Amino acid sequence: MLDEGICCRAAMKGALLLVSSVGILLPGVGSCPKKCLCHPSSNSVDCSGQGLSTIPPELPPWTVTLLLQDNRIHWLPALAFKSVSLLTTLNLSNNSLSNLAAEAFYGLAHLQVLNVTQNSLLSIESSFAQVMPGLRELDLSSNSLSVLPTSLGKPWENLTMFAVQQNHLLHLDRELLEAMPKLRLVLLKGNPWKCDCHLLGLKLWLERFIFEGGETDGAICRLPEPWKGKDLLSIPHELYKPCPLRHQNLVPSLVQQPGSVPQDAQKSPENNSGQHDPLECENRPKPKPTNLRHAVATVVITGVVCGIVCLMMLAAAIYGCTYAAITAQYQGRPLAPTRKSEKMGSEEPMDSSPA
């Protein structure tokens, strides 16, 4: 009996030790970072408005929604959210971010909503589509974006909302939007859109986008002056002048004389500093090929010769008609005396006959 009591006490102590150990480990697994509010029932962590300058460590792995708005975060390290791979919603609005590196979002294959409004972003990387393939909503409004990628390299299959309001965009490449086949909402207002030939692609894309049921707040032109304040979609296509082609001053090689080398082709398109010549984009008159100049000269000479021949023919015709008239006139004069002499000759025998 004594041995059984000792065994029972030992078992109870072991159970208590196990419980206490689990109790110590559990807070570490499901602990909530300082200055954050964790809500396990909704799988959300709220760290907004806490003056944070970095991503808080030890985020619960069950986090699905992470709120980090209204802080002072200015940089995101690589794999910044590796501990929350189940994240679907991330709010980084109203921070001090000037750059978004794609490496910072590695591991977020389930992310669907990314809000980075009211930051100081200057650009975004085209590799976002590969890092976050499941993203559905991307809000880049109220930043300092002056240029966006011209291509994503691959389609952003699941993106349905794309917002770039209140930035410094002058142009937006049509190819970028065509890489978002499921897009249904595009927000563009608040940018100084330059409605010239480079924005014609965006206009054509928006027309088709709206026709297919998409929604947009429109792009209001700020430049050039004649279109200031007008919606891009209200400007007729015919009012856009074609953009000048690069290297349009080069003569095509097919029209060059055999063995000749175009003078402009010998010049490098870049100067010694590695930058393109600013005069390259100017609208220069295209020189005429040598063969074309010869053809023009031949046509001119042929026209002159034909004109001279026609004048000569006209002069010959006039001369012929004049000569014929004069000849007819002189041939008609001797006929009158002859007739008179014949008449007189016929009358003379009658006079000389005896009475």
- Find the CATH number of the domain harbouring 75: 3.80.10.10
- Tell me the residue type at 104: A
Beta bridge partners of 91: 67, 115
Residues 6+ apart with CB under 8 A from 196: 223, 224, 240, 241, 243
Residues 6+ apart with CB under 8 A from 50: 35, 36, 71
Main-chain phi, psi angles of 6, to 5 degrees: -65, -40
Q: Is residue 45 situated within a structural domain?
A: yes
Q: Is 110 exposed, middle or buried (0-12, 13-18, 19+ CB in 10 A)?
A: middle
Q: Is residue 38 situated within a structural domain?
A: yes
Q: What is the DSSP string of 257-313?
A: PTT---TTTTS-SB-TTSPBPGGGGS-PPPPPPHHHHHHHHHHHHHHHHHHHHHHHH
Q: Is residue 265 situated within a structural domain?
A: no
Residues 6+ apart with CB under 8 A from 246: 280, 281
The model carries a pTM of 0.63
Alpha carbons 335 and 341: distance in angstroms, whole number: 10
Q: Is residue 160 situated within a structural domain?
A: yes
Q: Is residue 194 situated within a structural domain?
A: yes
Alpha carbons 144 and 159: distance in angstroms, whole number: 22
Q: Is residue 82 situated within a structural domain?
A: yes
Q: Is residue 54 situated within a structural domain?
A: yes
Domain range for 90 is: 33-239
Per-residue pLDDT of the chain (355 residues; tens, 9 = 90+): 445 544 445 554 544 344 334 333 333 445 899 899 999 999 999 999 999 999 998 899 999 999 999 999 999 999 999 999 999 999 999 999 998 889 999 999 999 999 999 999 998 888 888 899 999 999 999 999 999 998 888 899 999 999 999 999 999 999 999 999 999 999 999 999 999 989 999 999 999 999 999 999 989 999 888 889 999 999 888 777 777 765 544 444 444 444 444 444 444 444 444 444 433 444 444 444 445 555 667 777 888 888 888 888 888 888 888 877 777 776 655 544 444 444 444 444 444 444 3
Q: Is residue 244 situated within a structural domain?
A: no
Number of domains within the chain = 1
Contact 153, 175 (CB under 8 A): no
